[in-house]
Amino acid sequence: MKNAALFLCLTLGMSSILMGCSTPEKRVINPPRVGDLNYHKLMLMDLEQMQDQVRKYIRFAKQDFAVADEDPEAEASGFVNLKKALRMIFSRPDAENYVAKLVPEVRRELAVYRSYYRVIDELAEEGIQAFDRSLGVSTVTLATYTFMLENIMGEIQAEARIQPELKATIEKIARADIKVPRDVIQERKLSGMFLTESPSEMAQRILKERLSSQ
């Protein structure tokens, strides 16, 4: 009887330990949505192809802005096209330094309307929201957003020393406390041996090492 009771206690104790150490519930992963960018496809584009697409967006935006007085929705459409251009530029690994080569052309167009900082912040917010587990954003899309957030911070961190709007964007990413799912970390590793740092941790590091005196 004593042995049976001891066995029961050990069994219940082990069950409790196993339950406490159980792995977190696997996140729901939905298929990519229409319009989601895919960093794999963007990596296949060379600089000339990227420039052509960026300039197409700029051309569409200029057409929209040209009729903004007659069409109340045209100006908003113009900003959407310029945002698409920046999103595409930021949404791939920047090993070839395409960000520095392509962003200035889009920034010039946004500067006319004093909207560059605003659009950068909107893209950062979009990237943050994508990590909401309840959305079930696809693995490759989330991986693409990690590159986007990394590239945004890489592009603005120097200027953030003197521009409070850009520093605020980095602070927003830091506060978001983004947790990169394991499937996304694995995706980046398998596709190009890309090491993964949480965008929030990257933002916190930038604030501490480069912007702490601001």
Q: How is residue 122 written in tokens?
A: 């909107």
Q: What is the pLDDT of residue 127?
A: 98
In angstroms and rounded to an integer, the radius of gyration of the C-alpha atoms of the chain is 22
Per-residue pLDDT averaged across 9-14, rounded?
43
pLDDT above 80: residue 177: yes
pLDDT above 90: residue 3: no
Distance CA 14, CA 2 (A): 18
Distance CA 40, CA 48 (A): 17
Confidence of residue 34 (pLDDT cuts 50, 70, 90): confident
Contact 122, 82 (CB under 8 A): no
Task: Give me the long-range contacts of 196-199 (CB less than 8 A, separation at least 24).
Answer: 196/146, 197/150, 199/127, 199/128, 199/146, 199/149, 199/150, 199/153, 199/173
pLDDT above 60: residue 4: no
Q: Where are the domains of the chain?
A: 37-209
Confidence of residue 213 (pLDDT cuts 50, 70, 90): low
Per-residue pLDDT averaged across 47-66, rounded?
98
Confidence of residue 17 (pLDDT cuts 50, 70, 90): very low
Confidence of residue 28 (pLDDT cuts 50, 70, 90): confident
Which residues are CB-neighbours of 75 under 8 A, at least 6 positions away? 64, 65, 68
pLDDT above 50: residue 14: no
pLDDT above 90: residue 31: no
Contact 105, 55 (CB under 8 A): yes
Task: Please report the sign of the dihedral spanned by the C-alpha atoms of residue 96, residue 152, residue 176, residue 33.
Answer: negative
Confidence of residue 27 (pLDDT cuts 50, 70, 90): confident
CA-based nearest residue to 199, from 168, 178, 169, 171: 178
Q: What is the pLDDT of residue 25?
A: 64
Q: What is the pLDDT of residue 144?
A: 98
- Give the chain's end-to-end CA distance (angstroms, integer): 71
**What's the chain's average pLDDT?**
90
Task: Tell me the backbone φ, ψ of residue 33, rounded to 5 degrees.
Answer: -85, 160
More confident residue, 145 or 6: 145
Distance CA 110, CA 103 (A): 11
Confidence of residue 123 (pLDDT cuts 50, 70, 90): very high
Q: What is the pLDDT of residue 8?
A: 41
This prediction's pTM = 0.86
Distance CA 159, CA 125 (A): 19
pLDDT tens by residue, 66-115: 999 999 899 999 999 999 999 999 999 999 999 999 999 999 999 999 99
pLDDT above 70: residue 13: no
Distance CA 32, CA 142 (A): 10
